[in-house]
């Protein structure tokens, strides 16, 4: 089966619409909500309603966090371009506009991707139309998700959750929070499950909202779970602790969400490159991709190097999404995409600021903001170091116990 990584024709209208939204809605208010941290961007309500309408009418191709899920193997040997590819293409355009605002979009949280990846049909129907955040990280369990200490204990028809969660994107604004907790800490990663908790649950207590370097339009919450009672039917996936399948449900979530985060990085990278190209042109430096680097100004040659990294990140991201659409295991490729795109985004954002000098550091240019926004894209959903570790394990055929 071959893969063509050009934008499929049926998805071109979606990409055009997303780019128009980024240009006309997100870019104009980007600096406003960067400065007004924790203030909810009211302009997004109308935009979210429009996206919901497109979803209902099928015009979006299933794009969005709630639409990403693994397809079954495509038995006819054909090429399926589905909701995963549509989602990453749309996210690339929206994050060309503003990453923090994309992360603030109602009903497009990473928790929605978790529900799409693991929930059964009844749960998907019950949680449809709700905004879901995802709570994984804890004060003593960041990159090592298997080490989380939040517990879930059966009590009658409920699970009782106790623990602490930090860095929950859109945690205060969302309707639901998908909380990762352990049914039995002694059994390690096999006992970790995800639970859908209503934001209004009295046992889910907001501790604080973080002040951040970047993506300031997006709220980032810390929660205390204090005897938080959750109905058994809100457990995503099987309640059985299966040591053979171990972390399968959790990893299925990451296989879906890591390409989305990679797409965020790809969109921001392109924004940096395009704006820097414009500013260099204003300074009399023309970038010519058809000329050898040695025969161009140093700034132009450096920009071309960064563009090559951008293209690699973009293609890896599209491939990971395409594999999910066609029922192919994409865990390795999701980590390829996340690792490459996250690192490229940070390197390019800082490189573009350097090329533009004092202009790149000024608040009248978005390059300064983009350099701050970029760093988180190399951290959340698995840091650069964790992605490289996952890649090494898979390439070498080693388990997490064998390669730490």
Please, what is the Cα angle at 111 between 387 and 123, to 5 degrees? 125
Please list, residue by residue across 357-384, b when 16 or more beta carbons sit within 10 angstroms of its beta carbon and e when fewer do. eebbeeeebbbbbbbbbbbbbbbbbbbb
* End-to-end Cα spacing for the chain: 35
Residue 244 DSSP code: T
Residue 26 DSSP code: I
Instruction: Based on the residue annotation, tell me whether 381 is a catalytic residue of this protein.
Output: yes
Domain boundaries, the chain: 9-123, 130-236, 248-396
- Residue-wise pLDDT for 276-324, tens only, equals 999 999 999 999 999 998 999 999 999 999 999 999 999 999 999 999 9
For residue 215, which of 84, 338, 372 has the smallest C-alpha distance?
372
User: Token pair for residue 68?
Assistant: 């990403």
**Domain 248-396 in CATH 2.60.40.10:** no
For residue 107, which of 84, 129, 124 has the smallest C-alpha distance?
129
Instruction: State the Cα–Cα distance between residues 291 and 288, nearest whole angstrom.
Output: 6
What pLDDT, on the 0 to 100 scale, is given for residue 352?
98
Instruction: State the Cα–Cα distance between residues 380 and 220, nearest whole angstrom.
Output: 12
User: Token pair for residue 21?
Assistant: 């939204």
For residue 256, which of 332, 324, 341 has the smallest C-alpha distance?
324
What pLDDT, on the 0 to 100 scale, is given for residue 1?
47
Residue listed under structure tokens 């040591």: 243
CATH homologous superfamily of 130-236 equals Butyryl-CoA Dehydrogenase, subunit A, domain 2 (2.40.110.10)
Of the candidates 6, 278, 381, 402, the residue annotated as catalytic is: 381
Instruction: State the Cα–Cα distance between residues 330 and 335, nearest whole angstrom.
Output: 8
Weakly modelled stretches of the chain, pLDDT under 70 = 1-4, 53-78, 243-251
Ramachandran assignment for 284, one of left (phi > 0), alpha (psi -120 to 50 degrees), beta (any other): left
pTM of the model: 0.92
Q: How far is CA 348 from the centre of its chain?
A: 19
Residue 227 belongs to what H/E stretch?
Answer: strand 220-231
Instruction: State the Cα–Cα distance between residues 152 and 227, nearest whole angstrom.
Output: 9
What pLDDT, on the 0 to 100 scale, is given for residue 49?
79
**Domain 9-123 in CATH 1.10.540:** yes
What pLDDT, on the 0 to 100 scale, is given for residue 57?
53
User: Token pair for residue 166?
Assistant: 């930090």
CA quadruple 376, 91, 58, 42: dihedral sign: positive
Instruction: State the Cα–Cα distance between residues 276 and 267, nearest whole angstrom.
Output: 14
Q: Specify whether the CB–CB gap between 117 and 253 falls below 8 A.
A: yes
Q: Which residues contact 318 (CB under 8 A, 6 or more apart)?
A: 5, 85, 88, 89
- Residue-wise pLDDT for 374-386, tens only, equals 999 999 988 999 9
What pLDDT, on the 0 to 100 scale, is given for residue 80?
82
Q: Which residues contact 282 (CB under 8 A, 6 or more apart)?
A: none
């Amino acid at each position: 089966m071959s893969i063509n990584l050009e934008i499929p024709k049926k998805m071109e209208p979606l990409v055009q619409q997303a780019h128009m939204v980024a240009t006309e809605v997100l870019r104009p208010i980007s600096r406003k909500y960067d400065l007004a941290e924790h203030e909810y961007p009211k302009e997004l309500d109308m935009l979210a309603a429009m996206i919901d309408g497109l979803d209902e009418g099928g015009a979006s191709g299933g794009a969005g966090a709630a639409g990403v899920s693994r397809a079954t193997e495509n038995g006819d040997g054909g090429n399926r371009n589905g909701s995963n590819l549509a989602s990453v293409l749309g996210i690339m355009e929206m994050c060309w506009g503003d990453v923090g605002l994309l992360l603030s979009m109602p009903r497009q949280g990473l928790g929605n991707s978790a529900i799409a990846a693991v929930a059964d049909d009844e749960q998907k129907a019950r949680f449809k139309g709700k905004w879901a955040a995802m709570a994984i990280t804890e004060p003593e369990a960041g990159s090592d998700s298997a080490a989380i200490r939040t517990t879930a204990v059966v009590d009658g028809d409920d699970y009782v959750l106790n623990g602490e969660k930090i860095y929950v994107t859109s945690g205060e604004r969302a309707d639901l929070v998908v909380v990762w907790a352990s049914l039995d800490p002694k059994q390690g990663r096999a006992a970790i499950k995800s639970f859908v908790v209503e934001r209004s649950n009295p046992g889910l207590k907001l501790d604080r909202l973080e002040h951040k370097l970047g993506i300031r339009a997006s709220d980032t919450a810390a929660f205390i779970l204090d005897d938080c009672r959750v109905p058994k039917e809100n457990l995503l996936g099987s309640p059985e602790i299966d040591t053979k399948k171990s972390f399968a449900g959790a990893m299925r979530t990451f296989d879906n969400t890591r390409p989305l985060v990679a797409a965020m990085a790809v969109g921001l990278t392109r924004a940096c490159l395009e704006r820097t190209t414009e500013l260099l042109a204003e300074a009399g430096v023309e970038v010519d991709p058809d000329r050898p680097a040695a025969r161009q100004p140093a700034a132009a040659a450096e920009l071309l190097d960064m563009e090559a990294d951008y293209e690699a990140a973009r293609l890896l991201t599209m491939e990971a999404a395409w594999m999910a659409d066609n029922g192919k295991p994409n865990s390795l490729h999701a980590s390829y995409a996340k690792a490459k795109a996250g690192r490229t985004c940070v390197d390019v954002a800082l490189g573009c600021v350097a090329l533009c000098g004092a202009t790149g550091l000024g608040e009248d240019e978005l390059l300064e903001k983009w350099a701050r926004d970029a760093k988180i894209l190399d951290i959340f959903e698995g840091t650069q170091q964790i992605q490289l570790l996952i890649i090494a394990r898979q390439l070498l055929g080693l388990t997490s116990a064998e390669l730490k």
